[in-house]
Amino acid sequence: MISPRSSLGPVSLGITPSKLRRSPASPATRRSVPTSAKAKVARPSFAFRLKPRDVSAHLDRFVIGQTEAKKVLGVALCDHFQHVRLTLEGNLAPHYIKQNVLLLGPTGVGKTHLIRSAAELIGVPFVKADATKFSETGYMGGDVEELIRDLIRKAGGDVARASHGIIYLDEIDKIAGSPASGRDVSGRGVQINLLKLMEDADVPIASPNEPVPAGQPRSAEQSVNTRNILFIASGSFSGLDAVVRRRLASGPRTESGDETLAVAGTADFIAFGFEPEFIGRLPVRVACQSLGADELYRVMRESESSLLGQYRRAFGAYGIRLDFRASGLRRIAGLAALENTGARGLMTVCERILRDFKFELPGSSVRRLVVDRDLVDDPTGSLGRILGKRRSGRSRPTTPG
């Protein structure tokens, strides 16, 4: 039975394309969880108006490349929330099958970044959890139903909003039974526990472990249905490419690891250690691509979430202006690509290069630092020259800074 709008009370998914044109909210605003007071204010209607292209365009601002993943996510998210809207308007689809998403690909290429950016745009409560934190019984690790209660907390206690949220399960590959050593019993147990949630389950709002306040009976009808909660799972699936290659051994050859992951099918996921019922509940699948030096360069230059802003801010705090030259960025991108950790390699390289500058420059007379190719290739020499120049600059004021 699908609940009509009236029984759900106010929901606040009032998204219009105009929201797309807004400048990005500050991190503090973006992360803020609505207070219960705010969340309970009645909104006029459930107005989901985004189109897949809008979602993809929004993601373009933050995530470089991953065109296919953006397209697939845009379609899946819009389908899902349009379905929710139609349902709330009384246009029921009793046989609707949820389009939960599975995102795979190497580490650090934007899987989590994509989902987080999309959830911010849609403005629904969003919970991210590592699948590894759950145990089969819920004794040793977390109980999977806690995910739903986390979503209610994120929705500021608004159960109706929580019932249209997104649950993002990262590291999903870690709950696959290892095909070599036979099935991992606990991973399989977690998969089975997740099955019910991923489709249609009623989860009590109060945790069974929570003490009931004295004099108050535990309320039986206080539950959230998970039918309209979208599940997005992701993982790096290392080793899956070998499974796919084995299957394809007699068939067409695939070249790169990226291409191999892109053609992974249900049989491969089962061979990797997933239960058919589990992987079957993640019907929308898309592989993210690894990032080469060119993409890493664009991550720095074009992404609104580029780490360069963070560095400018850190140096700016000491009154030092940081200028990145294209030659320096090209070099950083090249070095980061060798790290094989996706865009995370950029931070590793920048930290290594700028560490001594971060230590030595605050408190010095240096007011501007230009990161060019020479500096990236020889940070120690560059720092010595800058400081040496400053020192000699003090005795000879005509020396340009």
Ligand X SMILES: Nc1ncnc2c1ncn2[C@@H]1O[C@H](COP(=O)(O)OP(=O)(O)OP(=O)(O)O)[C@@H](O)[C@H]1O
Spell out, one character per residue from 371 to 400, where the chain touches ligand X: x when CB under 6 A holds, - when not: ------------------------------
Q: Site for ligand X (CB under 6 A): which residue of 39, 55, 59, 64? A: 64
Residues 219-238 that bind ligand X (CB under 6 A): 236
Partner in contact with 64, chosen from Mg ion, ligand X, none, beta carbon below 5 to 8 Å by kind = ligand X
Question: Least distance (Å) from ligand X to the CB of residue 253?
Answer: 26
Please provide the DSSP assignment of 260-297 as one string: HHHT--HHHHHHHT--HHHHHT--EEEEPPP--HHHHH
Partner in contact with 156, chosen from ligand X, Mg ion, none, beta carbon below 5 to 8 Å by kind = none
Q: 273-279: list long-range contacts, CB under 8 Å, 24+ apart.
A: 273/176, 273/177, 273/178, 273/179, 273/183, 273/184, 273/187, 274/176, 274/177, 274/191, 275/188, 275/191, 275/192, 275/195, 277/191, 277/192, 277/195, 278/191, 278/192, 278/194, 278/195, 279/102
Binding site for Mg ion (CB under 5 A): 111-112
Residue nearest to ligand X (CB): 110
Which residue, 129 or 192, has its beta carbon nearer to Mg ion? Answer: 129
With beta carbons less than 8 A apart as the criterion, state whether 12 and 43 touch.
yes
Q: CA angle at residue 307 from 374 to 103, to 5 degrees?
A: 125
Q: Site for ligand X (CB under 6 A): which residue of 58, 98, 113, 149? A: 113
Distance CA 118, CA 28 (A): 17
Question: Least distance (Å) from ligand X to the CB of residue 23?
Answer: 18
Q: Site for ligand X (CB under 6 A): which residue of 87, 191, 305, 382? A: 305
With beta carbons less than 8 A apart as the criterion, state whether 66 and 291 touch.
no
Q: Site for ligand X (CB under 6 A): which residue of 34, 110, 156, 328? A: 110
Binding range to ligand X, per CB under 6 A, among 61-69, 187-195, 353-361, 372-380: 61-69
Question: Least distance (Å) from Mg ion to the CB of residue 193?
Answer: 22
Partner in contact with 241, chosen from ligand X, Mg ion, none, beta carbon below 5 to 8 Å by kind = none
